[in-house]
Structure 1
Amino acid sequence: MLATNFGKFTYKNPFMNASGVHCMTIEELDELASSTAGSFVTKSATLEARAGNPEPRYTDLPLGSINSMGLPNLGVDYYLDYAIKKQQEMTQQAPFFFSVAGMSVAENIELLKKIQESDFEGITELNLSCPNVPGKPQVAYDFPLTDQILETVFGFFTKPLGVKLPPYFDLAHFDEMAKILNKYPLTYINSINSIGNALFIDPATDSVVIKPKDGFGGLGGEYVKPTALANVRAFYTRLKPEIKIIGTGGIRNGQDAYEHLLCGASMLQIGTELQKEGPAIFERLTKELAAIMKEKGYQSISEFHGKLKTID
């Protein structure tokens, strides 16, 4: 009932973790792999291990979360070794996802070359919501640079590849980015990353709640769901059909998941709520989504996928 088609693969359900949540160590990744989730993605890896930003760098908020993690991870070799061994254990299942997020464009290229030359045969996610040069926006807000990077990448990378995107807020930007993305053989896009540079104040202390960047951080959870749905829908109606969409942002229950699928997402990543509840959340979400589908008379996701109604 909950099976979802994603390119040439079929997953038992659309749920997975968002990269960065419950995926730092082999132990956490194994917990995801053995959970009810349809798939999982590794921690976004850099070439070398990173400690990340100083604590506190993540805080739960009334309607979500704010973070400035600084890409803490154990280095690409740690995750790549795990991924290659894990795929041998999971030969009968659809492939999982491997995330990279270099601290520069050059590092991203080097990371992808390493994966291309490896025995990993799963799906790679390139995070384009990453730093650029000082004084410039993150890569995916620099349209010419994004085009240049994808042209370079697909000059050598032949394995399934998707890109993680930040939220866009202008229809012209959806048009411009979709035009770029449609030029390349992408497997998918992941939309959205957190809404950047939010600020939350503790009313008891008159202080920000995270230490890095004087309290500025990425906003996630319920706060961002309307923006996430808008981005999923905007790209679903603009991208060529073979580029699938992972919907990320504000999924707390089955109804949130249903709405992402209705807007055109094929897979769903859970971040803030996974951080709060742990991997047991996937069992709850699958039951809630199945109950909504049953109530509406749907036997499969394909019956309502992308079929959002508008008002004449």
Structure 2
Amino acid sequence: MVSTATKIGSFTFDNCLMNAAGVYCMTREELLEIEASAAGSFVTKTGTLNARPGNPEPRYADTLLGSINSMGLPNHGYQYYLDFVTELQNNPDSKPHFLSLVGLSQDETHTILKAVEASDYKGLIELNLSCPNVPGKPQIAYDFETTEAILTEVFTYFTKPLGVKLPPYFDIVHFDQAAAVFNKFPLTFVNCINSIGNGLVIEDETVLIKPKNGFGGIGGDYVKPTALANVHAFYQRLNPSIQIIGTGGVKTGRDAFEHILCGASMVQIGTALHQEGPAIFERITSELKAIMQEKGYETLEDFRGKLNYLA
């Protein structure tokens, strides 16, 4: 029997596929749709200290090869999502979940994480270090000193299973530097990648989205090679105890297969989920299982990280 079951830390998932933060996760209703689908889990919208309306519309657009967005972190506030995942975990049939969080300042981040630490929530937590769409705010994870300072303080008080969502890195030395920072901490996972920041898509003579004069994060087919490179680079460099969630350009079973081949333990779907809806999980799971069967793989561990190089 071919299985797409997987583990992150001490948590077991019946399927390795799930949504990416930002897609089908704004409301309880959307999250329940993912919960009821073939997905193995869901991640919540990245929750900030207070609710945020986000950037002005239009702030998302589908494109020929994917999507562009500058959402500006619209969300109902971390407490909304914390309450929901804590409620769900009391249901014996519930899947393990990921609670995504970030503060708009270091102080806010610590305020949120301390509240989660004190809560009854027993699932996984994702600290989003890769928010490219808040005007005037740089991506935290591109600043290695700040990243190390934040994580150093976080692990003085935080004991629950924590991972980080990362932006794409583009230079080998940055993979080395980032991994050196992450290997200092008891992280449960890293999630590679968020959208490629500050792309620009034009139709006729006009940009597609309103915020930042059209600049926004790029997702979909455009980003898969960059996502695979980040997944594999960190698979090669991180302590084996830090697992990898692969995100970027997944719309077929083959795409998911490649992320796992590069070292991912779970695979998130963003742009394609937005375009196709939660039924996508059943389709991609079937396609992934067909590839595994054809190659004689029964579990993800049979091929995870076993990318071949040219001699």
Structure 2 length-normalised TM: 0.96
Tell me whether 1:66 sits opposite 2:65 in the alignment.
no
Other structure's SS at 1:220 match: strand
Any residues of structure 2 matched to 1:1-312 within 5 Å, and which? 1-89=3-91, 91=92, 95-130=96-131, 137-203=138-204, 206-312=205-311
Identity %, equivalent residues: 62
Distance in 2 between residues matched to 1:9 and 1:98, nearest whole Å: 14
Query: What one-letter code is carried by the residue in structure 2 that aligns with 1:264?
Result: G
Larger deviation: 99-108 or 190-199? 99-108
In the alignment, structure 2 segments of 5+ residues that lack a partner are none
1:14-53 deviation line (CA, Å, top 9, x unaligned): 1000011011111111111111001101111011111100
Other structure's SS at 2:237 match: coil
Other structure's SS at 2:38 match: coil
1:46-67 deviation line (CA, Å, top 9, x unaligned): 1111110000000000010000
How far residue 76 of structure 1 moved from its aligned partner, in angstroms, is 1.4
Q: 8 Å contact 2:72–2:133 — kept in the other structure?
A: no
In the alignment, structure 1 segments of 5+ residues that lack a partner are none
Distance in 2 between residues matched to 1:186 and 1:201, nearest whole Å: 39
Query: What one-letter code is carried by the residue in structure 2 that aligns with 1:174?
Result: F
Distance in 2 between residues matched to 1:84 and 1:93, nearest whole Å: 11
Distance in 2 between residues matched to 1:88 and 1:45, nearest whole Å: 21
Q: 8 Å contact 1:132–1:139 — kept in the other structure?
A: no
Query: What one-letter code is carried by the residue in structure 1 that aligns with 2:80?
Result: Y
Q: 8 Å contact 2:168–2:230 — kept in the other structure?
A: yes
Other structure's SS at 2:293 match: helix
How far residue 137 of structure 1 moved from its aligned partner, in angstroms, is 3.6
Q: Give me the CA root mean square deviation.
A: 1.5
Query: What one-letter code is carried by the residue in structure 2 that aligns with 1:249?
Result: G
Distance in 2 between residues matched to 1:299 and 1:277, nearest whole Å: 28
Distance in 2 between residues matched to 1:95 and 1:166, nearest whole Å: 24
Structure 1 length-normalised TM: 0.96
